[in-house]
């Protein structure tokens, strides 16, 4: 399942983000932004038991953790660590086909938002790409005034307008922003390698555009990419998209 995701993404990065010519390895440049002067350290595969301390230490050192999952339930551990390190609630931008706001069942990938409630500034957070929600989840989101943006909303209003709205909302909060990307936010026709696919999703380039604008304009405290499940993937399509998303998000990240 998703436990194989990190290694699958590493493999895709090695094969598809470089050209080999005349015995030389030449990295592909991002579409915008830069990877220069951005030191990236891979801590390897980390257990859930060690994840909290690692994220806490990274954020406390004023660095930005980027976590590759794994299923989406790891985000609760990460948000707790970020909250404790920053001593303040977080604006959460949560790209997912599902709200993950189940409250009748706890401590799994469908209850991430419920389990993370103590760490989230709900009125300055947004769920993006949502299209497979239970009524219970919609009720919970409404109670907390948590905004949901569906793919239909993006189609109706326009991609650029939606991004500007998200950025404006987060800037108003003056909070640190955490960016969480469940790969099932994309349409399974182009990204089938996820645990719980849902038709009618985002296209990869639209997702990359939104993520790049967000990382260019907001104080990002941490990011994750989760739910890559290579057993369900086709020709490594999802892993390749995930690899490109990762490179583009890092290239646009503003390091202060």
Reported as a single tens digit per residue, the pLDDT across 48-86 is: 999 999 999 999 999 999 999 989 999 999 999 999 999
From 26-40, 68-82, 129-143, the region with the lowest mean pLDDT: 26-40
Domain 2-252 classification at class level: alpha beta
Measuring CA to CA, which residue among 152, 122, 155, 158 is closest to residue 140?
122
Locate 137 and state its tokens. Answer: 């989840």
Measuring CA to CA, which residue among 93, 110, 48 is closest to residue 223?
93
In 3-state terms, what secondary structure has residue 90? strand
Which DSSP state fits 98? S
Locate 89 and state its tokens. Answer: 């609630």
**CB burial of residue 159 (10 Å; 0-12, 13-18, 19+):** middle
Residues 206-215: pLDDT tens digits?
999 999 999 9
Average predicted confidence (pLDDT) for the chain: 95
CA distance 66 to 64: 7
Residue 35 clears pLDDT 80, i.e. is over it: yes
Locate 9 and state its tokens. Answer: 């993404």
Residue 256 clears pLDDT 70, i.e. is over it: no
How much of the chain, in percent, has pLDDT values that exceed 90? 87
Residues 93-132: pLDDT tens digits?
999 999 999 999 999 999 999 999 999 999 999 999 999 9
Q: Quote the pTM value.
A: 0.95
CA distance 39 to 110: 34
Question: In this structure, what is the dihedral angle of CA atoms 122, 245, 57, 90, given to the nearest 10 degrees?
Answer: -10
- Cβ pair 168, 134 in contact under 8 A: no
- Over residues 151-180, mean pLDDT: 95
From 22-26, 84-88, 115-119, 142-146, the region with the lowest mean pLDDT: 22-26
**CB burial of residue 86 (10 Å; 0-12, 13-18, 19+):** middle
């Amino acid at each position: 399942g998703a436990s194989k995701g990190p290694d699958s993404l590493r493999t895709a990065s090695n094969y598809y983000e470089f050209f080999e010519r005349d015995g030389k390895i030449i990295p592909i440049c991002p579409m915008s932004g830069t990877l220069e002067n951005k030191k990236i350290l891979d801590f390897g595969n980390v257990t859930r038991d060690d994840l909290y301390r690692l994220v806490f230490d990274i954020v406390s050192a004023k660095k930005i953790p980027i976590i590759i999952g794994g299923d989406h339930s790891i985000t609760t551990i990460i948000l707790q660590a970020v909250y404790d390190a920053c001593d303040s609630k977080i604006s959460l931008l949560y790209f997912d086909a599902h709200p993950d706001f189940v409250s009748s069942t706890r401590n799994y990938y469908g209850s991430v938002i419920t389990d993370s409630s103590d760490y989230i500034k709900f009125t300055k957070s947004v769920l993006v790409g949502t299209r497979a929600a239970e009524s219970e989840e919609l009720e919970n989101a409404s109670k907390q005034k948590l905004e949901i943006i569906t793919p239909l909303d993006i189609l109706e209003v326009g991609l650029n307008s939606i991004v500007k709205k998200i950025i404006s909302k987060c800037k108003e909060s003056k909070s640190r922003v955490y960016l969480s990307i469940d790969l099932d936010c994309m349409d399974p026709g182009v990204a089938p390698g996820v645990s719980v696919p849902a038709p009618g999703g985002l296209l990869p380039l639209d997702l990359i555009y939104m993520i790049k604008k967000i990382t260019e304009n907001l104080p990002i405290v941490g990011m994750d990419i989760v739910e890559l499940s290579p057993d369900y993937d086709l020709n490594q399509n999802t892993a390749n998209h995930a690899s490109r998303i990762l490179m583009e998000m890092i290239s646009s990240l503003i390091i202060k």
